Structure formats: C-alpha cells, structure tokens
Structure 1
Amino acid sequence: MEMKISVRNLIEFVHRHGDIVSGGLGTSPKRMEEGTKAHVKIQKQRQKEEVAYEKERYLSYGLSLPEGMFLVDGRADGMVPKSYIEEIKSTYLPLAEITDEYAFLHWAQVMFYGFMHMKEEGLTELRLMLTYYHLEHETERSFEKNVTLKELETFVHGTIETYMAYVREDLAWKKKRNASLKELPFPFSSYRKGQRELAVDVYRTIRQGGKLFAKAPTGIGKTVSTLFPSVKALAEGEADKIFYLTAKGPLKAVAEETMALLEKRTAQVKFLTLTSKEKICVKEEVHCHPEYCERAKGHYDRINECILEILREERTYHKEMILAYAERYQVCPFELSLDLSFFSDVIICDYNYVFDPRVYLKRFFTDIREDYLFLVDEAHNLVDRARDMYSAELSKEEILAAKKLAKPYKYLHRPLSKLNDYFITLRKELEEAQGRRNYFGVSEDLIFLLKDFLQGFEIFQKEVQEDVEGRDVLTNVFFAIHGFLNISELYTEGYVTYEEKVGQDVRLKLFCVDPREILVEVFKRAKASILFSATLSPMRYYVDVLGG
C-alpha cells in the first residue's frame, strides 16, 4: 500500500503551533498571483547569478514502513545542484521583524527538500537558503544554514513517524470499514420503482468517472440510492472520500439518517456533518483572536493530541462529541471538525465548502491526491447559489464607516480615504446616469486601491494584536474587499458589473450571470459527480448551466 502526502501538507499538520488569528490574506487568487510574481523575480535573478540554478525542481522521498511505502514529494523553489536549496516566501511584513518562530514552518519545508536532494545525490552536507521577498518594497532578505545529512534525516524521519501515528489509526479503521462494506446489503427489503436503476447508474458513473445528472421524483429515495452505491465504492477502491453536498439544513439531517440506517445494516463508516462556525462556536460572538477567545490562544499546541485521541477512541464524529472534545482540550470546535474531515469517509456539508471561492476546503482541493465523489442533493438549487457565491459587492457606506475608525492607523486610513473618494466620484457619475448602470469589466484603478488596503490590513494584523474599538468593522471590510478581489479573478464573459446609487450610498457589484465556466473547473476536483433532484427540468438547461 502506498501512502502519499505533499511536503507542505505534512509539515503544516505535524509542526503547526501557536494561536488562531483570523483575517489573514491566506491563499486568495490575488495573493497567490503576487506570490508567484515574487518567485519568478527571485528565480530569474538567481539564474543570472548562477547558470546552474534550477527552479521548481521536483523532489521525492520514499520510506518503506511495515504499513507500506510512505511517499512524500514536492517542488523546491530553486537550487544549485549539490550546492544549495532555496525556499522563497513573499510577505508584506517588515523583513527586519521576521523571527525564527515566524520562519519555523518555512525552514521545515526547505529542510525536507534539502534532505531529498542529499539522498538523491549522495551528499553528506548542503547549504539551505530561506528567502523572503517584501511585496510592497520589492526588497529581499535571505537566511542560510549549513546542514548535514544526519541531522536532516533525524528531522525528516521524526516528522514522518509523528504523522504515522495518525495514519496507522486511519488505516486500521479503513480495513474494518472495507470489510463491513463488502458485505453490506441494500438497507431495505426491496427497491422502490426506479431506485435500483438510479443506484446502478450512480455506481457506473463512479467507476467510469464524470458526471451524472439524475432527475428522480420525490419519494423514490434519492438519498439512499446515491449514498449506498457510493459507500460500496469506497470498499472497492473506486473512491477515497464522499462529499454529500446540500443547500438546506433539513437535507443534511436526511443524509445523516441514511448513514445511520446503513450503520445498522453492518456498515462501519465515519461520517461528519460540517456545522458552520457561527453555529458551533461556544463564544457569544465569533471572533477568532487569542485576545478574545481563550481557545484560539495556543489552539495549535493542543489540537493534534486531541485528534489522535479521537481517532483511537471514537467511531462517529457527531456534533456533541466534537463539542465535548473541544471543551476537554480547549480547542476551537470548528477547526477541530475541519481537521476531522481529513479522517472522515463521508463529509455532509453545505455547497459552499466545495464551490465557494471564499470558504471552500482548500486542504482537500489545493493539492488533490485522492479520488473524491461529489453527491449534489437538490442540484437545481446550485444555480442560484452559484450565482451568489461567484458574485461580490462593495458599498460606499461600509468604506466610509471603516475610514472613520481607521484614523489612528495611517496605513489603513490612507487607502480607505482613496477608496471613499473613488465612490464619491462614482456617485457623481451615477447621478448623471439616472442612478444606475451596468457594463462588462472591472476597473483597474479600483483593483489597485483595494490591493493597497489589503497591504495596510496585513500590517494592522501584525502590529495591533489587542481587541481595539472598531476592529470588527475593519475586519468585515477586509473580508468584503478580500472577497471582491477573489471574484474579480474569476470575472469572465459570464459576468456583468452593476453600479447603483441608493440615497447617498453607492453599491458596486460583480454579478455572475452564468456560472458554467467556473463550475466546470470546480467539478474537475472530483473523480465523479452525481447531481440529482426532482426538479431538474428542463434537463438541457441544468446540464448546460451546471457545467455538464
């Protein structure tokens, strides 16, 4: 049996530590684009300095274990073979303030790549380089270490062994699961009319890959007709994980009841229902900051021990169990549920965890190494939800409110003032256009101003740790602008830009009229997708707009 994981995912799971702090730039499309440009600039500079410099070098390392072959791989940003390996990171933080604690996970990555290269070339010593590039100032700072094969081997094997404690529990579970599923009968004594045909079509699609659009009448038992063949496919190795996607809470309950029914018929399947942060948070307000929430402080220092105990002791991941363990270990229950999704066979969740560019589960879909199944319940609802998820709106009112609160912070007040001026100009233009207009395209001037604010907000997050007055308003504006920039990266012919004057306020919206192109790309994340509903009519319309 082969176990595969990327260097980055392995490092971030085993060596994470410290606090939860929400509101970072994360991995938005715009931020990733900036990071890529920084990488390219440094790499071109290195190639001019050293003709032997190689960029994006693929490296891997396999370790034979009793459980099978453990394979970890990734791409080193740059190297001069047999001389040094370099990891490049981009940031808005002042380069002089980068500490060993801040850089620890980054050093861990380059240490892995260094070890892989040393094993590959038979080296005993190597120089490691960690370079930070400041996106605003366009300056860089590099750190270097000389290491031996022995010390890196100790670090790499220790990391793998720590991770294997979780893998062994997961493998033992899957062995039991597969044995139970191979003998699993259909949970009812007979099939309803059309039910068997639907189940057969679902299983065939899973084996072949692709999409199945199924219009089935209410009462046929669509949930069991899709989940039963899907869990059987887990045991046959045709799939690794199932995402049961719904638009409404009651439909999640139906899926849970169906999984409980299968459990009564001998199925051993770990299923998890993802509950929104707002509904599972134990605080009066959702504010993930160590100054406000005691569970956010040091969360990553405690979370892995909590997960390991759950893997050893629990067979089901229901909400009450998650809350109990979160209380015992003083960790965030929402983040705990997200981590447990790694070790779940079936994830029951809202559409947005797969489709929404703001909140989708990047941990699964950034570096895909497994065969996923998407079961999209009441798929006709996905059309309007997709239009909403892929649209974004800003208003002058929210910009002005944030501007007033940002006076003590010039790096926020300046970009917000410029944004407010932009909306004032826009209001004057709309007064001459009967108060509204629409067109195709996104203003580059606006994008520049929004990016300027994000740079200031990252400084704010670094310098202002306390829970100051207005922080919630500023953070909400950050998320609105961050989301707007994300959507601007998706803007295609399926979009229209809409501007409207409402009293003294101005609203600017990027409206997704036709989400087809975006959905086509999202569905590529799964080996097979089953879209089912009683109201997929006219079928040709839904097949077209949902990316069939």
Structure 2
Amino acid sequence: MISLFPFDNIREPQKHFMETVYKAISEKKHCIVSAPTGVGKTAAALVPAVKHLLEKKVKRIIFLTTRHTQHRIAIETISRINEKNNISLKIGDIIGKRWMCSQPNADKMRSSDFFEFCKSLRKSDRCEFYMNTRKNSGFTNNAKMVVSQLEKTFSNVERIREFSSELRLCPYEIAIEIIRGADVIICDYQYIFNAGIKAGFLKKSGISLSESVIIVDEAHNLPKRLRDILSARVTTRIIKRSILQAKRYKENEVIPHLVKVQDAMNFLSHNIENEKKVKKQDFLNLLWESQDDYDNVVSEMSDAGERVSEQSRNSYLSSVARFLEFWPKEDAGFVRYIKNEPDNTTLFYNCLDPGLLMGEVISETNSFVLMSATLFPLEMYRDILGFKRDNCYLESYKSPFPEKNRLIQVIPRTTSTFRERNEQQYKSIAKICSDIIASCKGNIALFFPSYAFRNNVLQFIQTEKEILAENKALSREEKDELLKRFKALSNKGAVLLAAASGSFSEGIDLPGDYLKGVVIVGLPLEKPDTEIIELIDYYEKKFGKGRLYGYVYPAMIRSIQAAGRCIRSEKDTGIIVFLDERYVWPLYKKCFPEDWNIEIQPRDYAERIKSFFTSLNKKRLPKNS
C-alpha cells in the first residue's frame, strides 16, 4: 500500500491513518478520523481506498466535500497516484446541478426553485442545452464526442463546463456520463444524502453503495447538513407571495388553501412574543378535516407549483407544498415550533437527529471514512451519526507543524455571555482587540459570536489598519473581492472582522503572510432558543450528554475551526488568541487539542505577542559571515 502513496515523503501519522482506513474497509467497517491541517488527510484516505479498488474488493470511491477547492486537491492526488504507479484510474467530478447549469442566472435561484425550473424546461423541451445533449434517451453525437475527449484527461467541473458550453451542451449530463465510467467520484454531500437527488444520481451513474467506499471531507459539517435536508419551514411572507403568484398565473383554486394556512399560522402565533413549540395536530386541526383532504390539497398545490415553474423561476407555491408534505411526518427526532418576527412569522419542522438519515446510508454502504481537523469529540460524532460502537474505528492525530511557529493565548478578562453584554464589556473587549491588532505584525482576523456582537464591539476598536467586515448578505463574488482586498493589504496589515459561525471561519485558506493572527472573541454558543433546548433535551434522553452534545461541544468546534485559519503549512507563523474567561473553565478547556501549548495571559498578552514576532524576525536575519 505504501508504494501507492503519491508523494516522496510519508509522515508517521499518515502511515497510521492509511492502515486504519485499509483495515476498516477490509472488515466492511467505518472510521472517523480527526487530523489537523498538515497531516495530509486527502492522500491518507484515498490511498487505502484505491488499494481496495485495485484488489477489486470495492468498485467505486466516492469523495464527498462541500468545498470546490477540495475537488481540485482530490483530483491532483488521484492523478499523482496514477502517474507514480502507471495505472489509469478514471475520475468523475460534479458539483450541485444549479452551479453547473448554463441557463442565465441559474446559480442565483433557490435550490428548490431550480429543481422545479430545470424539470419544467426539460419536460417541455425548452432547454436547448439538454436537447443538444440527449435525444430519445440517448446521447447526441456532439455529447458523445465531448465525453470521449474529457475522459482522456482528468477533467474537473470547470473544464466540463467550458467544453460543454462551447457546444451548447448540458454540463450536468456530461458530468454524469463521465461518472458512469469513473472509479473515483468527487461530489457534494447532497448526491448521497438527499433522497430526492440521490435516487436519480445513483441510477444514472450506475453506482452501488454496497460496493463503494465513501470518504467524507470536512465531516464536522455533516450533522448540520443532514438535519437541514430533513427540515422544512414556511413563512407568512412566502404565503403572501404564493397568493400573489397564484393570482398572477391563474391558479385560483389553491388560493383558499393558502389563505387557510396563513390564518392557521396567524392563530398559532397570536399573543406570543418570540417563539413556542407547536404540536403536529394543533396545526392540522386548523386546516382540513381529514388526512385525505390534507393530502389532496398538498397534491393540488404541488401540481400548481409545477405549472408556475414553467412560467417563472421562483415557485413559492412549490415551497409551501413541500412544507405541507413534511409537516405530518414523524415526531421522534424532530421539533415543531413557530417564531414571530417583525412583519413575518415562521413555522418550523426541524430535524434534531442526523442519525435518522445517516443510519439509512450507513446500512447501504460498504465503508465510510469521515475526516476533519475538528471532529471533537470523536465519540460524539459516532453517536449522533448512528455508527455502532463495535463497527467504527476512532482515530485522532497531532499537528505536524512546529510548535515554535505559533503562539496560542487565552485572555480570561472578558466574556460574551448574554447576561453581561453591555457597553462597558464591549469597550473592554475592544481595548484588548486594539492592543492585539497593534502588536500583530501583518493581517489579523477577528471572529465574533454573531454579527450583532461584532458591530457592538467594532464602534470602540481603535486601529490605523484598514478594517474589512464580512456579513452574511455578501454574495460569493463579494466575499472573493473582500478576501482579495485583505490579501493585497498583507504587507502593511489589515483587520478582517467575521462571525465564528460564518463562511469565513472555515471556508478560506490564507497561508503564509496573508494571515498572521486570529482572535476568537467570546464563545460562539448558540442562542438557547426552542430548537437548541429541544436538541439538548433529545441528546440527554438518548445519550445522557445533552448539554455537551447539543451546546458546549458545537461552540468549541466553531472556535477551534476559526482558529485553524492561521498556520496552514509547516512554514507559517502566527498567533491565536481566545478572548473569554470561559476558555479557562475545565468544561471548555478540555476541548482544546492536547498538543496545543496554551498560555494563559490575563495581563501581559500584548508584550508576549510582540516578543513572539520579534523572536521570529531574529531567526530570519542572516548570520554574519
């Protein structure tokens, strides 16, 4: 197996990682691996899976990732394995269908609307890209030619889109056809876990999960992604838009049903300040008399939504129909509640238990390999995802990067706890942040528990460095521009302000001098609302660890994930600061990686940071000849 390894040097943790994965696949078991940046997770997971593929013990390797950059890394790794060993494993690469679509502004649509939009265009022969690709259930000559060309090389999604667009072909259909003959498939979580997408994907691509190894990258995101797939919501704002849409497109027969749903939501939300739990039957009793009536209305609304999709890119009717389909489903592992906001009310049917969905896929699959830098504690992920204790290996590894390259501090002088959020606290936090910014030579990122908390602190921060602020309303292009600007300022230094729960806390790589410091301001605990309280209660009943699994550990994972933006290679240097008194409490302190040499610095934090950077600069000075 070592001979397959695509790089010259193999680290000891990688060797052990590969042995564990190989053993798990051999025994048709699973493994969950926590390995920090630098261990080389991608190669360590792929090599033993490829070994089994070559031994014909499995037929496919499916590499799941949420990050487009990771697609490229996985493709490069397989390419190196092929080149080094003179073999010819074939790769199929695919991302979400709407991100591949050549229809104008398809990527701007909501996923549910795009699904209906795409279906409608194909059904009515109005998509030239699809029609140019498929005819009479078969591929056109142009499509066959493009597939043949792309199969000769390792084609990522960008190349598939480029080739397909030149000939006005459907990139998604081309990618699926390539996957049919591929040994290694790189794709998003949705293709395996979303039942509505999974069935068609497996059928079209000819994949059998029982003969496949599934590698899940960034697996700390998996529980939330699975919950989201099984959850649904509807708002009074969407209902109002649905009524207007029904009038516009002459779907008048569903308007009384929509009004009834709106009235039911208004009744349930009457006299509540914020939110409250709702029983399944409380909502149903306000709608239609029998289950048959309910089912007929949902079917009627769904059909109307499809007809609207033929004329509009946004089908609000389909959104309402989807929610009504979800509402009568099971109670165990779910929470139903209603929430009031200014001018809008939301009714939720949200999943608490990701194991409900994961368990189904585990039972169908030969082996799972879950990996991330922040799978802590491993036992929690095993439990909540539904792996059996005797059928799942748990492994964790230390960082291979030199400890001398990083300074990790906890400054226990302030707190972000809800009851102590006041102007004086914000000023104290801002003072410490300002000191750290001044002491850090270069770019620095500050991560806050929320955007609102950040704004309260921001007004008191004093710095000569340019401040760049992320917010959740930014488009992907705007985020890219913000990061581009941040990198461009690395010589003189800039300050990036973001939320610990936002996309910048884990979806960005800023190696070398692009980022010299990270400050985690406060503890990013979820607001203890109805859903979080229910989640804690559910995990307490199921595992006896409700507060840990539902509240404490997720917050610490967010903190550590954000801290991981600094020090991305063995040559990187920088500081990581945790700013909250609770980080020294045993409950939270035990969550830090064992190999982190953390300094508790209540007062001399700024001087220590200055001396750290000074010592680094001295080491870089050339010796006298």
Shift of 1:221: 0.9
SS of structure 2 residue aligned to 1:194: helix
SS of structure 1 residue aligned to 2:213: strand
Q: Partner residue of 1:414?
A: 253
- CA RMSD of superposed structures (Å): 3.1
Q: Partner residue of 2:197?
A: 359
Say whether the 8 Å CA contact 1:437–1:500 is kept in structure 2.
Answer: yes
TM-score when scaled to structure 1? 0.59
SS of structure 2 residue aligned to 1:295: helix
Say whether the 8 Å CA contact 1:193–1:220 is kept in structure 2.
Answer: no
Quote the Cα distance in structure 1 between the aligned partners of 2:324 and 2:90: 37
2:323 alignment partner, one of 463, 478, 484: 484
5+ residue gaps, structure 1, are 1-181
Say whether the 8 Å CA contact 2:220–2:374 is kept in structure 1.
Answer: yes
Q: Partner residue of 1:455?
A: 300
AA in 1 matched with 2:200: K
Quote the Cα distance in structure 2 between the aligned partners of 1:298 and 1:264: 35
Q: Partner residue of 1:189?
A: 8
Quote the Cα distance in structure 2 between the aligned partners of 1:217 and 1:325: 37
Q: Partner residue of 1:521?
A: 360
- Cα offsets for 1:173-205 (capped at 9, x unmatched): xxxxxxxxx996322234202211111111121
Quote the Cα distance in structure 1 between the aligned partners of 2:125 and 2:81: 44
Structure 1, 292-301 or 226-235: larger mean CA deviation: 292-301
Say whether the 8 Å CA contact 1:269–1:346 is kept in structure 2.
Answer: yes
Quote the Cα distance in structure 2 between the aligned partners of 1:312 and 1:472: 33
- Residues 423-502 of structure 1: matches in 2 within 5 Å? 423-441=262-280, 443-444=283-284, 445=287, 449=294, 452-458=297-303, 461=306, 468=311, 471-474=312-315, 476-478=316-318, 480-481=319-320, 483-484=322-323, 487-488=326-327, 491-502=330-341
Shift of 1:428: 2.7
- Residues 241-256 of structure 1: matches in 2 within 5 Å? 241-256=60-75
Establish whether residue 346 from structure 1 lines up as the match of residue 166 from structure 2. no
Quote the Cα distance in structure 2 between the aligned partners of 1:437 and 1:506: 12
Distance 1:385 1:320, change over 3 A: closer
Q: Percent identical across equivalent pairs?
A: 25
Say whether the 8 Å CA contact 1:391–1:511 is kept in structure 2.
Answer: yes
Establish whether residue 373 from structure 1 lines up as the match of residue 192 from structure 2. no
- Cα offsets for 1:496-539 (capped at 9, x unmatched): 01112223432111111221122111222311101112222112
Say whether the 8 Å CA contact 1:303–1:331 is kept in structure 2.
Answer: no
Distance 1:307 1:294, change over 3 A: closer
AA in 2 matched with 1:303: F
Shift of 1:306: 4.7
Shift of 1:227: 0.6
Q: Partner residue of 2:457?
A: none
1:229 alignment partner, one of 44, 48, 52: 48
Quote the Cα distance in structure 2 between the aligned partners of 1:261 and 1:183: 14
Quote the Cα distance in structure 2 between the aligned partners of 1:298 and 1:312: 16
Q: Partner residue of 1:137?
A: none
Say whether the 8 Å CA contact 1:368–1:525 is kept in structure 2.
Answer: no
Distance 1:231 1:460, change over 3 A: same
Quote the Cα distance in structure 1 between the aligned partners of 2:162 and 2:375: 41
Shift of 1:304: 5.1
Quote the Cα distance in structure 2 between the aligned partners of 1:441 and 1:430: 15
- Cα offsets for 1:59-104 (capped at 9, x unmatched): xxxxxxxxxxxxxxxxxxxxxxxxxxxxxxxxxxxxxxxxxxxxxx
Structure 1, 508-517 or 442-451: larger mean CA deviation: 442-451
Quote the Cα distance in structure 2 between the aligned partners of 1:484 and 1:212: 35
Quote the Cα distance in structure 2 between the aligned partners of 1:385 and 1:490: 19
Shift of 1:242: 1.2
Quote the Cα distance in structure 1 between the aligned partners of 2:186 and 2:329: 27
- Residues 299-310 of structure 1: matches in 2 within 5 Å? 299-301=133-135, 303=139, 305-306=141-142, 308-310=144-146
Say whether the 8 Å CA contact 2:143–2:169 is kept in structure 1.
Answer: no
Quote the Cα distance in structure 2 between the aligned partners of 1:451 and 1:196: 58
SS of structure 2 residue aligned to 1:360: helix
AA in 2 matched with 1:285: N
SS of structure 2 residue aligned to 1:398: helix
Q: Partner residue of 1:131?
A: none
Establish whether residue 536 from structure 1 lines up as the match of residue 370 from structure 2. no
Distance 1:261 1:513, change over 3 A: same
Quote the Cα distance in structure 2 between the aligned partners of 1:230 and 1:202: 8
Q: Partner residue of 1:404?
A: 244
Q: Partner residue of 2:458?
A: none
Shift of 1:397: 1.5
Q: Partner residue of 2:224?
A: 384
AA in 1 matched with 2:51: K
Q: Partner residue of 2:422?
A: none
1:272 alignment partner, one of 77, 85, 92: 92
- Residues 153-192 of structure 1: matches in 2 within 5 Å? 185-192=4-11
SS of structure 1 residue aligned to 2:197: coil
- Cα offsets for 1:267-299 (capped at 9, x unmatched): 312112212233322232225325764224464
Q: Partner residue of 2:549?
A: none
Residue-pair matches, total: 360
2:128 alignment partner, one of 294, 299, 304: 294
Say whether the 8 Å CA contact 2:132–2:140 is kept in structure 1.
Answer: no
- Cα offsets for 1:101-146 (capped at 9, x unmatched): xxxxxxxxxxxxxxxxxxxxxxxxxxxxxxxxxxxxxxxxxxxxxx
Say whether the 8 Å CA contact 1:423–1:506 is kept in structure 2.
Answer: no
Quote the Cα distance in structure 2 between the aligned partners of 1:196 and 1:489: 49
Shift of 1:224: 0.2
Establish whether residue 335 from structure 1 lines up as the match of residue 173 from structure 2. yes
Quote the Cα distance in structure 2 between the aligned partners of 1:293 and 1:334: 13
SS of structure 1 residue aligned to 2:139: helix
Distance 1:481 1:402, change over 3 A: closer
SS of structure 2 residue aligned to 1:363: helix
Q: Partner residue of 1:63?
A: none
Say whether the 8 Å CA contact 2:246–2:254 is kept in structure 1.
Answer: no
Say whether the 8 Å CA contact 2:216–2:369 is kept in structure 1.
Answer: yes
Quote the Cα distance in structure 1 between the aligned partners of 2:172 and 2:129: 11
Say whether the 8 Å CA contact 1:396–1:420 is kept in structure 2.
Answer: no
Quote the Cα distance in structure 1 between the aligned partners of 2:24 and 2:140: 37
Quote the Cα distance in structure 1 between the aligned partners of 2:167 and 2:2: 37
SS of structure 2 residue aligned to 1:348: strand
Structure 1, 236-245 or 334-343: larger mean CA deviation: 334-343
Distance 1:325 1:387, change over 3 A: same
SS of structure 2 residue aligned to 1:272: strand
- Cα offsets for 1:352-392 (capped at 9, x unmatched): 22112343353317997451111011211112222222211
SS of structure 1 residue aligned to 2:313: helix
Say whether the 8 Å CA contact 1:247–1:382 is kept in structure 2.
Answer: no
Quote the Cα distance in structure 1 between the aligned partners of 2:320 and 2:179: 29
Shift of 1:458: 3.0
SS of structure 2 residue aligned to 1:541: helix
SS of structure 1 residue aligned to 2:336: strand
- Cα offsets for 1:248-285 (capped at 9, x unmatched): 23332322222232233123121122122333222322
Shift of 1:545: 0.8
Quote the Cα distance in structure 1 between the aligned partners of 2:29 and 2:215: 12
5+ residue gaps, structure 2, are 107-116, 388-625
Distance 1:276 1:387, change over 3 A: same
Q: Partner residue of 2:18?
A: 199
Quote the Cα distance in structure 1 between the aligned partners of 2:258 and 2:371: 44
Quote the Cα distance in structure 2 between the aligned partners of 1:546 and 1:441: 25
Say whether the 8 Å CA contact 2:147–2:174 is kept in structure 1.
Answer: no
Establish whether residue 505 from structure 1 lines up as the match of residue 505 from structure 2. no
Say whether the 8 Å CA contact 1:430–1:501 is kept in structure 2.
Answer: yes
Say whether the 8 Å CA contact 1:378–1:532 is kept in structure 2.
Answer: yes
